[in-house]
Amino acid sequence: MNALVERFTAALPELLADIETLVRKESPSSDEVAVAESADLVAALGARVLGVEPERIGPHLRWRLGDGPSRVVLVGHHDTVWPIGSLATHPFSVRDGVLRGPGCFDMKTGVVMALHAVAALADRTGVTVLVTGDEELGSPSSRELVEESATGCAAAFVLEAAAGTSVKTVRKGVSLYEVRAIGKAAHAGLEPELGVSAAIEVAHQLLAVAALSSPEVGTTVTPTLTQAGTTTNTVAAAGSFFVDVRVTSLAEQQRIDERMHELTPVVPGATLEVLGGPNRPPLPSSASSALFARAQRLGAELGLDPITGVEVGGASDGNFTAGVGTPTLDGLGACGGGAHADHEHVLVEHIPGRTALLVALVDEVLRETV
């Protein structure tokens, strides 16, 4: 066994204890108190492991190590999608090599791996560790912080969970919209002809929006939450639906944005309002290819199973780091599966090797950018 892998294998009980500490602190993104308390916990854990207190920006934590500019940034988040009380139905456990608990895979294990990997570096000068508290909401308050921390770096390593055991070399860009239709209410039985149905307008727009998808180039335009009307015997005076867009290129993201804002009413007398736009740019293969090749080589040197890559539709803060021109490799955190689902889990056997891989990646980039 490689000495670095052996080191983290010996340290596995400590890593598991730290993961348990974070998982047992529930931190749903929308609960400001819970996320603040989680940030306190991550700050204390990071200060113990790294020996340095973090910079605190609301629920976000940043460690900038050494003097001079940052050369490598490690990115993660401590918020989850799991509501308070989830531990009662999905308790923390480690059995038969499988770790479970709300947020264990997405992505509290990755946070612990990042902290312990940086602590193992012989020289941490130029390393930034950023752990945010609103990623699951789309990073509304942390986007600028992520982009600022990544700008000018030689590499960004994102500790989001792996896809099974594969790192993530491509992520689609995301756009989010809300389409609102305004009509006019009327009694559905007495005088429906006096009404203007926002429900019918919504139906027309749902079909128009869904037709914007272009599967041949990887663009999906998906209407999601939809509502209209107030009572069963009233012509709907208002209706709305949300739209989730995933694209592989900035050109497609721009095309969809233009078409969304060109939507026009179909029902006479109805009006439309389209809110929203691009949320995250794509993370293209060109941003990850060099780092992926490096990870494959270093993984082989460490004696790990071959490092494989995969393209995914989900987005992360890695989209932002790639968006500012920083080479980015994502999915370097926990191996396992079930993100956001009842079967969320982490495969314990991969934690030492993947933590060692992170050390090797950061160390090599630092040595090449001195």
Kindly list the domain boundaries of the chain, sorted by start residue. 3-172+282-368, 173-280
| Percent of all residues in the chain with a pLDDT value above 70, rounded to a whole number | 100
The catalytic residue positions are 79, 135
pLDDT for the residue 44? 98
* Cα distance between residue 192 and residue 91, in whole Å: 53
Q: How confident is the model at residue 68 (pLDDT cuts 50, 70, 90)?
A: confident
Rg (CA), the chain: 23
Q: What is the mean pLDDT of the chain?
A: 97
Q: What mean pLDDT do residues 277-299 have?
A: 97
pLDDT at 333: 98
For 78-132, how does the pLDDT look when each residue is reduced to its tens digit (9 = 90+)?
999 999 999 999 999 999 999 999 999 999 999 999 999 999 999 999 999 999 9
pLDDT (average), residues 29-54:
98
Whole-number pLDDT of residue 229 = 97
Residue 370 has pLDDT above 80, yes or no: no
Query: Smallest Cα–Cα separation from 364: which of 160, 157, 169?
Result: 157
pLDDT at residue 169 tops 90? yes
CATH match for 173-280 among 3.30.70.360, 3.30.710.10, 3.30.470.20, 3.30.56.10: 3.30.70.360
Q: What is the pLDDT of residue 160?
A: 98
3-172+282-368 and 173-280, same CATH topology: no
Residue 291 has pLDDT above 90, yes or no: yes
Q: What percent of the chain has pLDDT over 90?
A: 98
For the chain, what's the residue count?
Answer: 370
Average pLDDT over residues 326-338: 98
Q: Where are the beta strands (DSSP E) in 84-206?
A: 93-95, 98-100, 127-132, 155-158, 167-171, 173-182
Pairing of strands 271-280, 173-182: antiparallel
C-alpha–C-alpha distance, residues 320 and 202, integer Å? 33
The per-residue pLDDT for 1 is 72
For 220-267, how does the pLDDT look when each residue is reduced to its tens digit (9 = 90+)?
Answer: 999 999 999 999 999 999 999 999 999 999 999 999 999 999 999 999
What architecture is the 3-172+282-368 domain classified under in CATH? 3-Layer(aba) Sandwich (3.40)
Whether 202 has a pLDDT exceeding 80, the answer reads: yes
Give the pLDDT mean for 171-191: 98
Taking residues 184-213, what's their average pLDDT? 98
Query: How much is the pLDDT for 369?
Result: 85
Q: What is the mean pLDDT of residues 132-154?
A: 97
In Å, what is the CA distance from 299 to each residue of 29, 39, 263, 274, 365? 34, 32, 49, 47, 15
Query: Can you give the pTM of this predicted structure?
Result: 0.91
Question: End-to-end alpha-carbon separation of the chain, Å?
Answer: 30
**Measuring CA to CA, how many Å separate 112 from each of 131, 214, 354?**
10, 39, 12
pLDDT for res 104: 98
pLDDT at 138 over 80: yes
199 pLDDT band, cuts 50/70/90, is very high
